[in-house]
Structure 1
Amino acid sequence: MTETMTPPDVSTNPAGELSTLRALEAEAIEIIREVVAEFERPALLFSGGKDSAVLLHVALKALAPAPLPLTLLHVDTGHNLPEVIAFRDEVVERHGLRLHVAAVEDWIADGRLVERPDGTRNPLQTVPLVDTIETERFDALLGGARRDEDRARAKERIFSVRSAMGGWDPRGQRPELWNLYNGRHAPGENTRVFPLSNWTELDVWRYIEAEDVALPPIYYAHERDVFLRDGMWLTPGPWFGPRDDEPLVTRTVRYRTVGDGSCTGAVASEARTTSDIIAEVAASHLSERGATRADDRLSEAAMEDRKREGYF
């Protein structure tokens, strides 16, 4: 009698996990090489967060031993945690990379933007991004967005053509059959490219462990003074917090994602190593944005509304 063979469970089989990671890495490498070959002035969005750190790591592997032919672009709200900015600058110096910083503060100072009453600057990133794409003549921007983060990002193609104003039309996207990508665009248009589209948060952390990718220390559990607002632990800073009714407490926390300090919360966690985080993420029922990003809670379609205006 023939014995029925059960296929290996990739979720628990280390060899299967590694095979899956290598397939995802190979796909991302192919996409990055396609962008470098097809576009004249591509850039890579780099905030110092885990997804952009993984994207940069893959890009360096994809194009080695040549110097990275990509400018790094960071739209800096001015409200980023200092550990993240220090990590960003250290990475740029270590690899001898070009970094262009579009500071939201500059747009506020000269009147092109107005500070929001709630103090958050995440929604203010769109105008500096679109302006910088125009002035620097970037025709493609590589970003670390993933489809599992948000419903709007789940609609996104890997090659996403944007209008001259940076706008995204989810109904006007091009088909992507197999691994064929269409980067053609009219003058003034640009293409956002997402090589990590098919990765999950768990894939990202398993890749970080497998490749020993460096990250800002705030991704790992540490003691921090925080205050509670709208169900999230926020760090004190120049973003109108804490208020009188928001007492500071010391908690052991970590960040699942990084961004504007006014709307990016920490989570209670004892995960001090990458393997600890992998176990924690595997057990979580919330995406990192759903758990820690207040700007995504503004409406049912908050992310999609921002993307239509030119957001990442």
Structure 2
Amino acid sequence: MTVVADIAEGTDTADPYALTHLDVLESEAVHIFREVAGEFERPVILFSGGKDSIVMLHLALKAFAPAPLPFALLHVDTGHNFPEVLAYRDKVVAEHRLRLHVASVQEFIDRGELRERPDGTRNPLQTVPLLHAIDTHRFDAVFGGGRRDEEKARAKERVFSLRDEFGGWDPRRQRPELWQLYNGRHAPGEHVRVFPLSNWTELDVWQYIAREKIELPAIYYAHVREVFRRGGMWLAPGAWGGPRKGETVERRMVRYRTVGDMSCTGAVDSEATTIEQVIAEIAASRLTERGATRADDRLSEAAMEDRKREGYF
């Protein structure tokens, strides 16, 4: 077996009877889903159609099979999402007969409860609809696909992350999680964010997708797309406000490492059209996907932590 094949499959050929690295991560995530099912009354899974939420849903379905998934799904729709990702979301929901709640940023803008930003991005506007949905449906545990390797503020967060009655995150209130013991206790009005993929890396996620043969939206693989350059990133044109005067639209071979709002998620130049090629590309990268392609994380040195304190994912 070649080194590339080993990387793609996430295997360890030293001991054929030992659990692989991916087996251990999968087991941990399944344990977390079952812990939440036993501790909380109304959990929900944040599902955007991005690769991390897709893997998270796959693990949740595995955790309770052959029974139906005991949780609903929640998507905060900015109105600027990639059409391919929304189509994938709806396909998965229909295929598994899942319950989906959609919190719309556009509806809050139409009611005057939110205002458009001058830069056109709506990603930071997701917090208010998210907290409104959590309060309306009385969700007491919210699964998110965040990973510690993505960004330094997320590296501080525990698997069970307590949020106050306003949805805010205080790193000083983080609880110890020795021996995989998770404390879900919370006061009325508070809730807990749960991150089953905390200990995964981007490479782990892709290796697991390859092993489990999980289908992804096509934009995760290299394809020819119209893009324009802004802030050192290739952004997709759209009604959100791009391109501006002087920004030239080009057709390039690109793919997306992460998927969020079209206004803040950049594509990367790539020839990786297969999952094996994507894995080899990621293995050679020295930048996380958020560091390389998310404009919303570049607003300040502590942009993510500031948003998390306000109630962001």
Instruction: Classify the TM-score, shorter chain.
Output: over 0.9
Say if 2:249 is the partner of 1:253: no
> How far did residue 239 of structure 1 move?
1.4
2:261 aligned partner, one-letter code: D
Cα deviation, 1:145-180, whole Å, max 9, x if unaligned, reads 000000000000000010010000011111111110
> How far did residue 271 of structure 1 move?
0.3
- Cα distance in 2 for partners of 1:248, 1:39 equals 49
Q: Which residue of 1 aligns with 2:11?
A: 15
More moved, 15-24 vs 227-236 = 15-24
Say if 1:266 and 1:12 are closer, same or farther in 2 by CA, change over 3 A. Answer: closer
Q: Which residue of 2 aligns with 1:187?
A: 188
Q: Quick check: 2:149–2:288 contact (8 Å CA) kept in 1?
A: yes
Please report the TM-score for the alignment, with normalisation by the length of structure 2. 0.95
Say if 1:273 and 1:174 are closer, same or farther in 2 by CA, change over 3 A. Answer: same
Secondary structure of 2:12's counterpart equals helix
1:252 aligned partner, one-letter code: M
- Cα distance in 1 for partners of 2:291, 2:268 equals 12
* Count of residue pairs the alignment pairs up: 303
Q: Which residue of 2 aligns with 1:273?
A: 274
Say if 2:116 is the partner of 1:115: yes
Gap regions ≥5 residues in structure 2 = 1-5, 14-18
Cα deviation, 1:106-158, whole Å, max 9, x if unaligned, reads 11010111111111000000011111100110000011100000000000000
1:49 aligned partner, one-letter code: G
Gap regions ≥5 residues in structure 1 = 1-9
- Cα distance in 2 for partners of 1:13, 1:66 equals 28
Say if 2:67 is the partner of 1:66: yes
Secondary structure of 1:178's counterpart equals helix
Cα deviation, 1:186-241, whole Å, max 9, x if unaligned, reads 00000000000000000000000000111100000000010000010011111111
> How far did residue 255 of structure 1 move?
0.3
For 1:66-105, list aligned pairs within 5 A: 66-105=67-106
- Cα distance in 2 for partners of 1:109, 1:225 equals 29
Say if 1:14 and 1:120 are closer, same or farther in 2 by CA, change over 3 A. Answer: closer
For 1:48-59, list aligned pairs within 5 A: 48-59=49-60
Q: Quick check: 2:8–2:276 contact (8 Å CA) kept in 1?
A: no
Say if 1:188 and 1:47 are closer, same or farther in 2 by CA, change over 3 A. Answer: same
Cα deviation, 1:73-109, whole Å, max 9, x if unaligned, reads 0001000010000000000000000000000001101
Q: Which residue of 1 aligns with 2:134?
A: 133
- Cα distance in 2 for partners of 1:221, 1:193 equals 32
- Cα distance in 1 for partners of 2:137, 2:253 equals 42
Q: Which residue of 2 aligns with 1:5?
A: none
- Cα distance in 2 for partners of 1:229, 1:171 equals 37
> How far did residue 13 of structure 1 move?
8.7
Q: Which residue of 2 aligns with 1:294?
A: 295
Q: Quick check: 2:9–2:207 contact (8 Å CA) kept in 1?
A: no
- Cα distance in 2 for partners of 1:12, 1:244 equals 43
For 1:201-216, list aligned pairs within 5 A: 201-216=202-217
Say if 2:236 is the partner of 1:235: yes
Q: Which residue of 1 aligns with 2:169?
A: 168
Q: Which residue of 2 aligns with 1:177?
A: 178
1:110 aligned partner, one-letter code: R
> How far did residue 15 of structure 1 move?
3.1
Please report the TM-score for the alignment, with normalisation by the length of structure 1. 0.95
Q: Quick check: 2:42–2:139 contact (8 Å CA) kept in 1?
A: yes
> How far did residue 16 of structure 1 move?
1.5
Q: Quick check: 2:8–2:279 contact (8 Å CA) kept in 1?
A: no
